[in-house]
Amino acid sequence: MKLTPDSLSAHLKQQLLPVYLVSGDEPLLTGEAADAVRAGARSAGFTEREVHFLERGSDWEDVRASAGNLSLFGSRRLLELRLPTGRPGVAGNNALLALIEKSDPDTLLLVLTPRLEREAQAAPWVRAVESRGGWIQVWPVEADRLLGWLRARCRRLGLDIDEEALALLAERTEGNLLAAHQELEKLRLLAGTGPLTADAVLAAVADSARFDVFRLSEAVLEGEADRALRVLTGLRAEGIEPTLVLWALTKALRDLWSEISSPTAGRPRGWQRQAAALQKAARRAPRLSFRSLTLRAARADRMIKGRLHGDAWDEMALLAADICARPAMPAPQSMFK
């Protein structure tokens, strides 16, 4: 039986199979799936747990002997096998197949592996798991699904979070679900009763980062290029994540676009605080090419993610100067080069 991390909880409430395989390269989701199986096993009376780490070429006789021995206290037990390569070799294949086919009612088998390649998926022991037990394949959460994943996590944690804050979290934690989970847990402790905003997310990251990032945003809207570049240099020296800095610059750009396209509607959050800066920026907007500014921001984003050669901090410095209408280099013609 093939299962997913989302369907595993409902499945375990209905039944407990004799063997489970959890495979995947996403530590948070594989760990949670394994924890769910362990919790289900404890609820069913499997109170003992044995863990074996088995590399390719390991001696499987200890596992066979352990599976064949009666529990010291006569209780049911969980036998957990961790295969770091997902390729147990000939001896491991045979031992796993024998353990799965034995189906001892007092022993539940849990096998943990990284993502299994196509050849490894065709191994007899994997097919035996699929026919006699449950196989939970864990896949990475791609960028286009990350917002939905974060939204679902927030609902599970009882967090009321707005879309802007979600977008900021997604930018900061793309490719690292464990970091995303830790951020959400921290926000849950700090949230209180009100909804979480982007400001609250920034505050949770670090107070110094929050104030300096907003200083950068205000400086570029004011058109003070020298101050903006000093703040940017300080952020880099303090080790602030470039994703957070780029978010502040693009937010300033979005706020400026909103100001000139709908000056009396849809004021951004905190508009009263930055009204004067926005008005200054709006007066110089006719000298700005929003297409070029967007291309510059996209290039910085690609550099941060390693998809384009170059220094993202230098690109963000150019973007800050461009927003201030003091370009230091010709405008980019493409985000790809």
Provide the pLDDT confidence category of residue 274 given band limits of 50, 70 and 90. Answer: low
CATH of the domain at 37: 3.40.50.300
CA atoms within 13 A on the CB side of 22: 22
Whether the per-residue pLDDT at 83 is higher than 50: the answer is yes
Residue 189 belongs to some domain of the structure: yes
Whether the per-residue pLDDT at 298 is higher than 50: the answer is yes
Provide the pLDDT confidence category of residue 8 given band limits of 50, 70 and 90. Answer: very high
Range of the domain at 52: 2-137
Query: What's the domain count of the chain?
Result: 3
What are the tens digits of pLDDT across the range 91-132? Answer: 888 889 988 988 788 889 999 999 998 888 999 999 999 999
Residues 43-69, mean pLDDT to the nearest whole number = 82
Residue 334 belongs to some domain of the structure: no
- Same-domain check for residues 7 and 132: yes
Q: Which of residues 155, 172, 204 is at a domain's end?
A: 204
Write down the pLDDT at residue 302: 92
Whether the per-residue pLDDT at 173 is higher than 80: the answer is no
Residue 122 belongs to some domain of the structure: yes
Whether the per-residue pLDDT at 145 is higher than 80: the answer is yes
CATH of the domain at 229: 1.20.272.10
Phi, psi of 2 (to 5 degrees): -95, 135
Write down the pLDDT at residue 335: 64
- Same-domain check for residues 279 and 166: no
Provide the pLDDT confidence category of residue 157 given band limits of 50, 70 and 90. Answer: confident
Residue 154 belongs to some domain of the structure: yes
Write down the pLDDT at residue 269: 43
The span from the CA of 313 to the CA of 160, in Å, is 33
Whether the per-residue pLDDT at 68 is higher than 50: the answer is yes
Write down the pLDDT at residue 206: 45
Write down the pLDDT at residue 102: 82
Residues 246-270, mean pLDDT to the nearest whole number = 74
- Same-domain check for residues 12 and 116: yes
CA 92 from centroid of its chain's CA atoms: 33
Percent residues over pLDDT 70 in the chain: 87
- Same-domain check for residues 164 and 198: yes
Whether the per-residue pLDDT at 273 is higher than 70: the answer is no
Both tokens assigned to 321: 């100067």
Residue 337 belongs to some domain of the structure: no
Mean residue pLDDT of the chain comes to 83
Closest CA relative to residue 206, chosen from 176, 167, 245: 245
Residue 23 belongs to some domain of the structure: yes
- Same-domain check for residues 188 and 292: no
The span from the CA of 254 to the CA of 169, in Å, is 18
CA distances from 66 to 78, 80, 277, 305 (A): 11, 11, 71, 47
- Same-domain check for residues 215 and 260: yes
The span from the CA of 145 to the CA of 161, in Å, is 17
Lowest mean per-residue pLDDT among 85-99, 157-171, 266-280, 290-304: 266-280
Handedness of CA 104, 105, 110, 115 (dihedral sign): positive
- Same-domain check for residues 87 and 214: no
Write down the pLDDT at residue 110: 95
Residue 298 belongs to some domain of the structure: yes
Write down the pLDDT at residue 140: 84
pTM given for the model: 0.61
Residue 329 belongs to some domain of the structure: no
Strands 19-23 and 46-53 come out as unpaired
CA distances from 10 to 4, 15, 16, 185, 337 (A): 11, 9, 11, 23, 49
Provide the pLDDT confidence category of residue 76 given band limits of 50, 70 and 90. Answer: confident
